[in-house]
Amino acid sequence: MREDADSQDELITAMRARELGRKSVVVGDRVALVGDTTGAPGALARIVRISERTSVLRRTADDDDTTPEGRLERVVVANADQLVIVSALADPPPRTGFIDRCLVAAYDAGIEPLLCLTKADLAGPAQVLDYYAELDLPYVLVQPESDLAELREHLADRISVMVGHSGVGKSTLVNRLVPDALRATGVVSAIGKGRHTSTSAVALRLPRVQKKGDPGWIVDTPGIRSFGLAHVSADSLLHGFPDLVEGTVDCPPNCGHTTADANCALDAWVAAGKADPRRLASYRRLLSSRAGDLDPRDHIE
């Protein structure tokens, strides 16, 4: 995004200047341009400065077998202030393991999460909302023909990045929010494996539906097979489970909070009914996957 993007709507083609060296430019970056910034056909500007980022949403590509390094840390988007986690209520069913990963990544990046539950015409949200009852997590429900006014209110005056695995209806939702986006959509096969229909992240300006206020931006991301958290420290990982934090007060020093830690106080905390046992199980799965032991319930095969 151009540094003065709030007042500029034209599209400008630009390339990274050589003096930036190997410093990468990612979606959401605010940059300074020189050269031909008219946006006219054939015009080319240069990116000469990348402003300091206010937030960086990262994921570890622990499902990537295309590189010898394997688990690579990747920046999803810069300068976002809201993470919209898109999850279907059915076809495919919601995966709380994936949602938990996204929440941890959001808290680690210092951006606010919003749960967007699609296909609400096929199933109710009670089970998912009950699972996150202790978090007071904001959410919106979306049906194929439902009005998107509530979602637009959450997106207004913000830079929101939308994530979700294939088949949850994310690209369809983006096309409804930004009719000119023409993001590719697909179907989920009979065995539940989504076809990855979006191939690159793109920032889209939301259309103005009211005369007042900034409608905001959304960053649409490709269908994500996993949201690896190897870049998140074990302590930061716990912050994605605020309902468990108080339960660690009585843990012995250097407790790893895993099933191997016999004196971990979290088991007693859950047994006393102070947290959902599913939340502790999810937290421990994430601890395990962070160490490299992936759980198939946490990602799409």
Indicate whether 164 pLDDT > 50. yes
Segment 214-240 shows an average pLDDT of 81
Neighbours of 137 (CB within 10 A): 16
What digits encode the pLDDT tens for the residues 123-143? 999 999 999 988 889 999 999
Per-residue pLDDT tens over the stretch 242-258: 899 999 999 999 899 99
For the chain, domain boundaries: 5-50, 56-220, 234-298
Pairing of strands 159-163, 217-220: parallel
pLDDT category of residue 71 using cuts at 50, 70 and 90: low
Mean pLDDT within 180-186: 63
Q: In 3-state terms, what secondary structure has residue 98?
A: helix
Grouping H, G, I as helix, E, B as strand and the rest as coil, residue 292 is coil
Q: Which helix (H) or strand (E) holds 50?
A: strand 45-50
What band does 162 get if pLDDT is binned at 50, 70 and 90?
very high
| 210: phi then psi, degrees, rounded to nearest 5 | -130, 155
**CA angle, corner 193, sides to 132 and 154, nearest 5?**
40
> Quick one: tokens of 99?
């949602």
**Residue 248 near residue 257, CB atoms below 8 Å:** yes
Give the separation between CA 82 and CA 162, rounded to whole angstroms. Answer: 9
At 2, phi and psi to the nearest 5?
A: -70, 145
pTM for this model (two decimals): 0.81
Helix count and strand count (H, E) for the chain = 8, 11
- Domain 56-220, second-level architecture: 3-Layer(aba) Sandwich (3.40)
Lowest mean pLDDT among 52-61, 70-79, 102-111: 70-79
Using the predicted structure, report yes or no on whether residue 271 has a pLDDT greater than 70: yes
Give 8's pLDDT tier (boundaries 50, 70, 90).
low
